[in-house]
Amino acid sequence: MARTCLVMADLRGGKVRNVTYEALAAARRLAEGGEVSVALVGDGVSGFAQGLGAYGADKVYVVEDTGLKHYTPDAYASVMERLIRTADPDVVLFAHSAIGRDLAPKLAARFGAGQVSDVVDVGLEDGKIVFTRPIYAGKAFTKVTISDGKVFATVRPNNLSADEPDAGRSATVETVGAGLSGASLRTVVKEVVQKATSGVDLTEAKIIVSGGRGVKSAEGFKPLYELAEVLGAAVGASRAACDAGYCDYSMQIGQTGKVVTPDLYIACGISGAIQHLAGMSNSKVIVAINKDPEAPILKVANYGIVGDLFEVVPMLTEELKKV
Ligand code: FAD
């Protein structure tokens, strides 16, 4: 049964995040030949429209306004609500990012529709949409079947594969007014002060080097950054390392931090508490460096190195530099 799908593009740092292309591939599977469109919302974003065509969008709705330069829940919800009322898609997909997690349930409520969070796989069974999502802090997966009606969902980055771009494919571009002048907006972003980061987005990183309490200090993270640089990786941390002030909370991975699914996760001086595992246990390959052979992280790791991280990590860095 052909259905129409709308994907909201996830933009950050002047770029379309990869999860947008992953959601587009999921939308193509669910559409079964129906139209797949993308909502490109922001300020100065129209240049991304044709690129989205190459990744599978049939149509791109461009909504540009200076009032959309920074994300605010009321402005973005107002724009998306108008767009969804006009386009009337059967399925609306968002990234499972800060913005998607905020907007999807808000909009689903406005449409009296269902909402499925943190989708890691999509499929069709007996003509019905089936979303797979983790439960019990990632210990199990459940399948949610959509029987009828409009549905909203957020897609976890790095789980679904994006389609190869087809440069010969293009999308119809429709410019839509933001209509913000009539909307009663309660929030305005005056200024954004950004923290300095390693540059690699944790939730989209293919490789993560992560440190825990065993790293012992902010200075102790230095060898982890050196290893990350050689690997082109992002640096993450356990909550204990953040709580101890070794690093910023934006780096926290786990149940109350970021959920990541890189190809390679290198845990250094992390014990493997359930709350940490909730954020990284679906990584494709896990390497744990821990001096305690009984550390629980070694039970989930594909490769365990029992040793002092301050000896093992620099050794790894030196060896990898030779490759
Ligand atoms: P520890 O458990 O202290 O482990 C340190 C490890 O380092 C040990 O295994 C030790 O053997 C090893 N080590 C020490 N020195 C060295 C060395 N030189 N070389 C090699 N290994 C060494 N935690 C999170 O991470 N993320 C979350 O999102 C999160 N959310 C939480 C939510 C709730 C509601 C609660 C209650 C807790 C949460 N926690 C979270 C905390 C969690 O329970 C653990 O306390 C935390 O993950 C422990 O961090 P850690 O592994 O770095 O520290």
Low-confidence ranges of the chain (pLDDT < 50): none
Provide DSSP, 214-259: GG-SSGGGHHHHHHHHHHT-EEEE-HHHHHTTSS-GGGBBSTTSB-
ipTM: 0.99
C-alpha to C-alpha distance for 41 and 107, rounded to whole angstroms:
15
DSSP state of 196: P
Which of 202, 210, 213 to mutate to test ligand 1, by most ligand atoms within 8 A of the CB atom?
213
List C-alpha distances in Å: 250 to 164, 227, 235: 31, 20, 10
User: Which pLDDT score is estimated for 199?
Assistant: 66
pLDDT digits (tens, 9 = 90+) for 153-211: 999 999 999 999 999 999 999 999 999 886 678 888 888 887 766 567 898 899 999 99
Please name the residues in contact with 320: beta carbons below 8 A apart, sequence gap of 6 or more.
227, 230, 231
Nearest one of 198, 228, 207, 230 to 13, comparing CA atoms:
198
pTM of the predicted model, to two decimals?
Answer: 0.86
User: Which pLDDT score is estimated for 183?
Assistant: 67
- Which residue lies with its CA nearest to atom 38 of ligand 1? 275
**H/E segment holding residue 317:** helix 309-322
User: Which tokens is 247 given?
Assistant: 């690093």
User: Which pLDDT score is estimated for 184?
Assistant: 74
User: Which pLDDT score is estimated for 196?
Assistant: 67
User: Which pLDDT score is estimated for 20?
Assistant: 97
Does the CB atom of residue 276 touch ligand 1 within 6 A? yes
Q: Which residues of 185-196 are buried (b: 16+ CB within 10 A; e: fewer)?
A: eeeeeeeeeeee
Does the CB atom of residue 210 touch ligand 1 within 6 A? no
Nearest one of 215, 217, 239, 216 to 227, comparing CA atoms:
215
Does the CB atom of residue 306 touch ligand 1 within 6 A? no
C-alpha to C-alpha distance for 155 and 117, rounded to whole angstroms:
7
- Which residue lies with its CA nearest to atom 16 of ligand 1? 214
Does the CB atom of residue 69 touch ligand 1 within 6 A? no
C-alpha to C-alpha distance for 227 and 303, rounded to whole angstroms:
17
Radius of gyration for the chain, computed over Cα atoms and rounded to the nearest angstrom:
21
